[in-house]
Chain A
């Protein structure tokens, strides 16, 4: 029998890697500017202030948690440039911020009040009641669970002819979840105006990125869904801002989603219940301390003469005072009534739940 002819042998070389643009970087780790600064000095200083606010907030909360005054919490220490830079690329009047749970600094930029942030970490339900005028979804504990919703929101805005763009943030671990893949796929199909911002901080609790994926980058996953993916230096405020701004413009002009991988590092803990010394190589931590996004901006702002040391010290004092005032306000917030949780189950939850409210409400008042 004659063998079937084959045009060429099957070649599997090279099919694993997608051609990706190089990592976007504006500032090196010592604060040297490599490209033209993509924002005004004034805005850069404001961005730095919010990064500092996020850092000091996290440090304060970890301390309060150690005193038993806060619940288990997940600090964003080391990732302030990734979240603030992304938030700065949004127009808060039209654009939505959809968080996971480690992007508080960016949420502060977008308008989430510090007082509510403190209340989040004491377990007060009002922290989840995003203020009415703020285009933001509540924190999300289910990894990547917010992504289908963010894509649906973006798609819904597009169907309405609304100019809004949705920024949806998640982590490296989130890229292993089905929700990420289903959401990315739908975003591609519907050309939803969404920016999928992956904060690749190297760790999903103790799981290192090499155990999370065999892909060379997380950004390249976008190629499979038919839209661009790009890596940026997540510890460089300017790089994140410029990259996300380009993605936002692309979304707003109707060209659809972008996956941005902000390469950063979790300098703190997964949560206050975590002990990274069990799994994190010491040298690795030290390497990333040198790449601290705050240090980098601090050096840059001083070198450029945007602010002097006295100005930075004043900023530290101002941030400290803001945190003090907000924590005082948070502590004055009345404790939630035990009946509170019945109020938001459903508009009309039915006679059984209404009856339970009467009973629990009475018990709650003692």
Chain B
């Protein structure tokens, strides 16, 4: 057990799996000698060489598409997309091709491919480097979408993702890369995909979030506690497949729910969470489920960023409102 940041947990998981499984190759823009723009692949090039840690041309479509072919040739590719916003250049290869490899070949082929990308905002990055685009990918059957918040889950879920026989989009909390630290088990530590985690136990309101928004939810829960409201925070960890049972269990206990997402409100993944809760736990609900999201405007440049992202204050407002309904 060691205390690591999120990005150190990513690095440890990659290094561990490359040592354990010789089929694992890491590819992407600047992942080699430079070690990645966030240093997520730091040291891998020196250890595993240019045939397993591969700097690619600046082209997300072929990074994703070639990963499919590499998997068909027997490799286990872990591709880095430098920022999630860039993955849209390869949208066809990720959503229409990678996600469907097993399906469209009726099982002749599968694509054991992990695509890692920093996700979300809050680090004053340029335009298109901060968006929370998860909902563009949760609507693609065949693609698993993972969005952990703390270093232990980052390691455990990344190892599970690389070993999953099907493609996984692995979203790493950009804001948490160096800010969020935590104890991470040594060695082979796997967290099962598709299982949510109760990040904080409580009895009055359930707050559902994922990735960096978990830190916001925990802060709001602390603030609510000061007002005498007991908040349970559920960290989804995996968006697809969604752990509906965990959502139902928590809301059955609290009777109230607030869902937090960094993305703009309309058609965001929070809507899926809300719909799932009302399908599974409708008769437990004592109040309408509330959403806290970014407004329906594009992600702003740096000086406006803090106004845009859901913060603890807005989450607290929603928690208080839910208890008064």
Contacts and interface: CB of A to CB of B under 8 A. Distances in A.
Given A152-B66, A349-B141, 15 more contacts: A128-B108, A137-B109, A148-B93, A151-B69, A152-B62, A153-B70, A159-B70, A159-B73, A182-B57, A186-B59, A344-B102, A345-B141, A346-B142, A347-B110, A349-B241
A265 interface: no
Nearest to A138: B105
Interface in B65-115: 65-75, 89, 92-93, 96-97, 102-110
Contacts of A345: 102-103, 141-142
B51 A159 contact: yes
Given A149-B66, A182-B62, A128 B105 contact: yes
Nearest to B105: A138
Contact of A142 (B62, B72, B97, B107): B97
A156 B75 contact: yes
Given A150-B69, A152-B68, A352-B241, A344 B107 contact: yes
A350 B242 contact: yes
A77 interface: no
27 contacts: A129-B105, A129-B106, A137-B109, A138-B108, A142-B97, A148-B62, A148-B68, A148-B69, A149-B72, A150-B69, A152-B65, A152-B69, A152-B72, A153-B73, A156-B72, A156-B74, A159-B75, A162-B73, A182-B59, A185-B62, A344-B102, A347-B165, A349-B241, A350-B240, A351-B245, A352-B242, A353-B241
B8 to A, nearest CB: 28
B61 interface: yes
Contacts of B62: 148, 151-152, 179, 182-183, 185-186
B64 interface: yes
A159 B71 CA distance: 12
Nearest to A164: B73
Majority SS at the chain A contact face:
helix
Contacts of B274: none
Interface residues of A, number: 44
Interface string A136-166: 0110001001011111111111011010000
Contacts of B71: 152, 156
A343 B73 contact: no
B281 to A, nearest CB: 15
Nearest to A147: B65
Contact of B102 (A147, A148, A346): A346
A189 interface: yes
A309 B300 CA distance: 75
Ranked nearest first, the 6 interchain pairs of A and B with the lowest CB-CB distance are A148-B65, A350-B241, A152-B69, A156-B73, A152-B66, A153-B69
A147 B93 CA distance: 10
B66 A151 contact: yes
Given A352-B241, A352-B244, A138 B69 contact: no
Interface of B: 25, 51, 56-57, 59, 61-62, 64-75, 89, 92-93, 96-97, 102-110, 141-142, 144, 164-166, 194, 240-242, 244-245
A271 B315 CA distance: 55
A347 to B, nearest CB: 5
A125 to B, nearest CB: 5
A155 B105 contact: no
Contact of A179 (B57, B65, B75, B103): B65
A126 interface: yes
Nearest to A125: B106
Interface in A232-250: none
A132 interface: yes
A344 B65 contact: no
A178 interface: yes
A339 interface: no
A130 interface: yes
A150 B92 CA distance: 15
A341 interface: yes
A346 B166 contact: yes
A319 B298 CA distance: 60
A95 to B, nearest CB: 13
A182 to B, nearest CB: 4
A161 to B, nearest CB: 11
Given A185-B62, A186-B66, A350-B242, A157 B73 contact: yes
Which residue among A155, A189, A343 has the maximum number of chain B CB atoms within 10 Å of its CB? A155
Contact of B73 (A131, A152, A341): A152
B70 A152 contact: yes
A78 to B, nearest CB: 28
B61 A179 contact: yes
Which residue among A142, A148, A183 has the maximum number of chain B CB atoms within 10 Å of its CB? A148
Contacts of A179: 61-62, 65, 92-93
Contacts of B69: 148-156
Which residue among B66, B69, B104, B194 has the maximum number of chain A CB atoms within 10 Å of its CB? B69
Contacts of B240: 350
Nearest to B103: A344
A160 B74 contact: yes
Contacts of B104: 128, 138
A145 B106 contact: no
A267 B275 CA distance: 52
A189 B74 CA distance: 21
Given A148-B66, A353-B241, A129 B108 contact: yes
Contacts of A185: 57, 59, 62
